[in-house]
Chain A
Amino acid sequence: MIEIERLQLYYGTFHALKDISLSIPEKRVTAFIGPSGCGKSTLLRTLNRMNDAIDGVRIEGKVEIQGQDIYAPDMEVETLRKRVGMVFQQPNPFPKSIYDNVAYGPRLHGKRKKAELDEIVEKSLRAASLWEEVRDVLKKSAWSLSGGQQQRLCIARALAVEPDILLMDESTSALDPISTNKIEELTRELSRNYTIVMVTHNMHQAARISDRTVFFLNGQVIEAADTETLFSNPADRRTEDYISGRFG
């Protein structure tokens, strides 16, 4: 369970997230939708503190994961990111073998034994439904995989550190329809065990696979509701305009 309370985020003087309060349910898929530049990625990246590295970012308010304030001074950002995995828009496998890509995270966090790593790699690749395709070529470079396979490898890589939450920022937008389909199915599958927060520009995708949908506009949450409700019976006029394609 993620609780966001009165969150403000500034890029220098630019007020990018305005007074956001939101709760994201556990073991569900939550989709962020909204026009370009409205702050979806920014909010997603506050959840694993990827914005920390950007110069001039200032954050106020509270973000709690399982009751723990992730911006508290004693919070170790590495520990947080181990619990909150992220999959990016462009597949970004490391220039290493498929095996080493998946084993990268576990090795970072101190896992050394070959047998243990083998097991994690297989489990993660299976969970990302990539195992059957790569089981015989684990030593091959990850860059030799197709775009869709690379993205599933990145999902496997994120799962290998056993996170509770998975953030996906337009993770299918660089892929072909068939790969997109696979990853959508996978997302549904994973939501049984993981809390998933995804950003998407594809409203059909949000409607198809998310349980809850949050609509953003200009750095503000306009409406957050069950996906069915939000798409069939939006409470706010602006939401209705957006999902019916009148702007954005």
Chain B
Amino acid sequence: MNLSYKEVKRDTAVQASKPFPKHRIEEWRGKAYVYVCILVLIVTIFSIVYFIAVRGLTPFVSGGVGVGEMLFGKVWDPDAEQPLYGALPFLYGSFATSLLAAAIAAPLGFCAAIFMTEMMPKLGRTVLQPAIELLAGIPSVVYGFVGLSVIVPFLRHTFPGQGIGIMAGSIVLSIMILPTVTTIATDALRSLPSGLKEGSYALGATRWQTISRIILPTTLPSLLTGIVLGIARAFGEALAVQMVIGNAPHIPDSLFESAATLTSIITLSMGNTTLGSAHNNALWSLALILLLMTFVFVFIVRLLERRAKR
């Protein structure tokens, strides 16, 4: 449909006598198709949010569980006589693993991005970038498996403890989010106006001075966006983490001690509960917390993007 506005008009005039010119029907059909797709999308999103919210709010509304009790309670024991729904260990586990993963992935990702854009653009574009993007395509179960057979034994031999735990989870997650952080950082560095770099070099700056004083500060909002997206991805990852973290529902004393995250406890317990039971509803509350966290991450990314544009 490459007709210019004028041509469309002329066309209409010629065919005006016929009741439904062909292009009118095409136009209508295209519109209808787009609207139906959008409708399906909106309905899907709303039903997911609605379903999670209804299920997840049940323990608070009719289950006699307090919001504070869930957010700050330290003991998770839904099958006891007096069931306890303290989700703090999982919140702690989720935040600790994803933040630590970002702390590991961010410097690696930035260095890779700087190497690929500033130091060896050719090698970066042809070898390194495809290699890093490949990381994004590896299924999480493979990451978990590698983590379980390589990272956990390594940690067990090097540090006190069983090897499983937050550290193992963070390392696995950091590799998983590396492509996100690197790709966004690389794009940001590539889109930097070349005049800025030249301006700095022309004043006698070395490459390192230019990187640290011009390139990094200027692209900071985009770099942070990459990190937040990475954290969001890490926060929501279940399988790989579950395989290496140990899944003990308590707040660990060290990074090398069994722990659990929101996602790992949901996947682990979901099959053992029946829909509508108090235990099951409590798991939906955890899912609701995950959902709300996702909103927060999206919100932060939006804020950063607005800052990057200025």
Residues in A lying within 8 Å of B, measured CB to CB: 48, 50, 53, 55, 78-82, 85-86, 88, 90, 92-96, 104-105, 108-109, 154, 157-158, 161
Contacts and interface: CB of A to CB of B under 8 A. Distances in A.
Interface string B114-156: 0000000010000000000000000000000000000000000
B193 A92 contact: yes
B203 A105 contact: yes
Contacts of B198: 50, 88, 92
A161 B206 CA distance: 15
Given A88-B198, A92-B198, A95-B218, A161 B203 contact: yes
B199 interface: yes
Interface of B: 122, 193, 195-196, 198-206, 209, 213-214, 217-218
Given A104-B213, A108-B209, A94 B199 contact: yes
B105 to A, nearest CB: 26
B125 to A, nearest CB: 13
A161 B201 CA distance: 13
Contacts of B199: 88, 92-94, 154, 157
Contacts of B196: 92, 94-95
Contacts, number: 58
B204 A94 contact: no
Contacts of A93: 199
Contacts of A104: 200, 203, 213
A228 B218 CA distance: 46
Given A92-B193, A92-B196, A95-B218, A85 B202 contact: yes
Contacts of A80: 204
A234 to B, nearest CB: 33
9 contacts: A50-B198, A55-B122, A94-B200, A108-B203, A108-B213, A109-B204, A157-B199, A158-B202, A161-B203
B201 A53 contact: yes
